Amino acid sequence: MHHHLCKNCEHTFEGNFCSNCGQKTNTIRLNWHFVKEELQYTFLHINKGFLYSVKELLTRPGETVREYLEGKRVKHYKPILLVFVLAGLNGLLSQKIDYKAFMPKNDVKNIVATEMPKIMNWIFSHYALVELALLPIFSLCSWLAFKKYGYNYVENIIINCFASAQRLLIGLITIPLMYLIDPKYLLTFSSLISIPVYGVTIWLYLQLYKKHEIGNVILRLLLFGFLATMVFFAALIIATIVVLFYMVKTGQLEIN
């Protein structure tokens, strides 16, 4: 068999791919044929990876996650990248929503009423970062709650990547409806939507741990929810203190 010299790492190898770095033997000059191949690979990868993962998460989420953790991964989109893509789509679709409708309207000088829409807009425009920032924290909570079931902390991060992707998928379905609803009912609608959004996460965990006693799984889910809620409110309090401190420092808020 003919030996090749890798143009990337200068390793000598046989075959179509470098055994050291994985680069192709045939590195053609960049031209329209190269662009065509790249586009074909990209769309094929999305169809066989992204859409497959979406379908599995909407039909058999817990079993899909368990199979992924056990090594059945070749058909799936990368879970962290999946969160990034879905969070980006959510942020893009929700940019034009009037978040002022969520806020009190009886006092235009109310700090919450004037500043919260800006914060909400920032969160949704950076939603991928927010989701990824919360993943390690929520994963710590799920690891502590389900520690006896055997999955380590990193595996819990992957579990929560899929759970987050699942919630984001529900968001993609419901966001268009928010443009059709009267702004004064947005808060009520969002509250109602949170039920199926977090309901699918419960469904995922119940399927994932279906080999364990269901009563025990529900108790651990309640513990997970409690820990996650405590962490969320702690983060909210810290963020509020930081924002207030910043506003005092910059003169936007005066404390008598």
CA 219 to chain centre: 25
Please state, in angstroms and rounded to a whole number, the distance separating the CA atoms of residues 15 and 161. 36
| pLDDT, mean of residues 28-33 | 66
What's the pLDDT score for residue 218?
A: 95
Please state, in angstroms and rounded to a whole number, the distance separating the CA atoms of residues 138 and 83. 14
**Residue scoring higher pLDDT (127 or 107):** 127
* 26, pLDDT greater than 80: no
> Model confidence at 143, in pLDDT bands (50, 70, 90)?
very high
**Residue scoring higher pLDDT (27 or 142):** 142
> Model confidence at 156, in pLDDT bands (50, 70, 90)?
very high
Which of 138, 162, 139 has its CA nearest to residue 58? 162
* pTM flag (> 0.75): no
* 108, pLDDT greater than 50: no
Backbone angles phi and psi of 13, in degrees to 5: -150, 170
| E strand or H helix at 58 | helix 51-59
Q: How many other CB atoms sit within 10 Å of the CB of residue 89?
A: 17
The token duo for 72 is 């059945």
> Model confidence at 89, in pLDDT bands (50, 70, 90)?
confident
- Please tell me whether residue 7 adopts helix, strand or coil conformation: coil
178-231 pLDDT tens trace:
777 776 776 677 777 778 888 899 999 999 999 999 999 999 999 999 998 898
